[in-house]
Structure 1
Amino acid sequence: MLRKKVLRFALPAFAASVLLAGCSGEEPPVASPEATAGPTAAAESAQQQEFNQADTAFAQQMIPHHQQAVEMAEMVASRTANSKVIELAAQIQQAQAPEIEKMTSWLEAWGAPMPMPDMDGMDHGEMPGMMTSEVMSELEQAKDADFDRLWLEMMIEHHNGAIEMSNTQLQQGVNAEAKELAQQIIDAQQVEITTMSNLLATN
């Protein structure tokens, strides 16, 4: 088995318009339903965009975590002929690449720093499930059944790390979108762990 190598303005303006209308002898304008809905919609949007340090940390750490999973998935097609592993790798890549873009957009909206491009398990030992550069090199050099076994073991550990990070987000975060994504990650990756465990048992 793989050894664990884990490196975590409205009222003043309205009053002024009433005063001006009174002076001119004109009736004050009546606000349309769309206009009255504006502040409510804005308040709801602001509520949705509320975030705290845990939300920021979740995105900053999950981005490189996902990037490593995508990197691992990209290795598969050239190293194995196992159609089930190839299909699973494509599924992981298709799910996690858009999530990286989503979390990047959150950090931009929040004015938070982006993770460094070279983040990996060695640099961020607090991030559960991240693989060291040495382990990644070992995976790159493997082929066929040996690759399948090592890749599945590593991706199970990697998924367990993402689930741990997502549970932390559910407990400590406040941003609704980030918490929704965390739950999606948990649900999807638990299913994938079951699939990978079954593949390991028959490998």
Structure 2
Amino acid sequence: MNRARRAGLGITLAVIVAVGLVVGGVLAAGGEESAEAQAPFMGLADPKAAYDLRFFDEMIMHHQGAIMSSAGMIADSRRPELRKLAQRIQASQTRQLKQMQTWRKQWYPRAGDSMMSMGGMPGMGEGVGSMGMMGRDAMMGGDHAERMFLRMMVPHHQLAVEMGEDALENAEHEELKGLARAIVDEQSAEIEQMEGYLKAWYGDESTRDLAAPMREMMGRMMGGMHGMGAQHGMGMPERSPGG
């Protein structure tokens, strides 16, 4: 693995594990939202890039986290309902991820490797899949890990829904708008299902309102990582036609 790909792998791993810590930080902060948190993007991609390229780089990373966390539930959950949900998330988002990677290469051939892209990196899932975005909490296993998965995945899905709704208005390619509609519809339905599980199994209210502060905290955490990726020559941005 060359230097740039090693750097990208390290950044990606750090972000995935950090999301679990972000959820905890948001909960501790009381879920307060600032005006800065209103934008649909999370700060994971180059803000100067073309809209569709930026969407790909953020949503690819977003899907990868959900796929790996779902793998942990498929392997370890004692609840058949949760295993079935995780299998559906993993299958659907894997298909969508591959489609986004294909379009990214076709539409932005000069963009280079995204520093958030794990596609084709050998061993990416080894030792990480069972933790995914849940970080240290997942290691406790059992009911605690299942509850944390649901509490984390609801706002995680909500972020994708908001990005998808924004893409329906602003994406440059009609194909991407079609994908955005599928993301909005699928993940909105899954949010309702997960909220039902949280209420029925744990008496928890929805964590959907944590999406905005989660986005803000992720953006702050990612601020220094863009410079790190640039040092290794990764993610050369392609500008919008008018940019």
Tell me the TM-score range normalised by the shorter chain.
Answer: 0.5 to 0.7
Which residue of 2 is the match for residue 92 of structure 1?
Answer: 89
* Structure 1 stretches lacking a partner, 5+ long: 9-51, 120-132
**CA distance in 1: counterparts of 2:75 and 2:185, whole angstroms:** 29
Question: 1:64 Cα deviation (Å)?
Answer: 0.9
CA contact (8 A) 2:57 2:116 kept: no
Question: 1:77 Cα deviation (Å)?
Answer: 2.8
Question: 1:147 Cα deviation (Å)?
Answer: 1.2
CA contact (8 A) 2:53 2:104 kept: yes
C-alpha spacing 1:139/1:72, structure 2 compared with 1 (3 Å) = farther
Which residue of 2 is the match for residue 161 of structure 1?
Answer: 159
- 1:160-183 Cα offsets, whole Å, 9 max, x none, are 011111122112112001011001
Matched residue type, 1:201: K
Instruction: Tell me the secondary structure at the aligned position of residue 91 of structure 1.
Output: helix
Instruction: Tell me the secondary structure at the aligned position of residue 116 of structure 1.
Output: coil
Alignment of 1:66 with 2:66, yes or no, is no
**CA distance in 2: counterparts of 1:3 and 1:134, whole angstroms:** 17
Deviates further, 159-168 or 82-91 = 159-168
- 1:117-161 Cα offsets, whole Å, 9 max, x none, are 578xxxxxxxxxxxxx99632243132211111000111011001
**CA distance in 2: counterparts of 1:151 and 1:200, whole angstroms:** 10
**CA distance in 1: counterparts of 2:61 and 2:106, whole angstroms:** 18
- Aligned CA-pair RMSD: 2.7
Deviates further, 73-82 or 149-158 = 73-82
C-alpha spacing 1:100/1:57, structure 2 compared with 1 (3 Å) = same
Counterparts of 1:139-178 in structure 2 under 5 Å? 139-178=137-176
CA contact (8 A) 1:63 1:103 kept: yes
Counterparts of 1:38-53 in structure 2 under 5 Å? 53=50
Bigger relative contact order (CA 8 A; separation at least 6): 2
Which residue of 1 is the match for residue 232 of structure 2?
Answer: none
> Which has the larger Rg?
1
Which residue of 1 is the match for residue 73 of structure 2?
Answer: 76
Matched residue type, 1:186: V
Which residue of 2 is the match for residue 4 of structure 1?
Answer: 26
Question: 1:57 Cα deviation (Å)?
Answer: 1.0
Which residue of 1 is the match for residue 114 of structure 2?
Answer: 115
How many residues align? The count is: 147
CA contact (8 A) 1:62 1:162 kept: yes
**CA distance in 1: counterparts of 2:117 and 2:105, whole angstroms:** 19
Which residue of 1 is the match for residue 215 of structure 2?
Answer: none
Identity %: 28
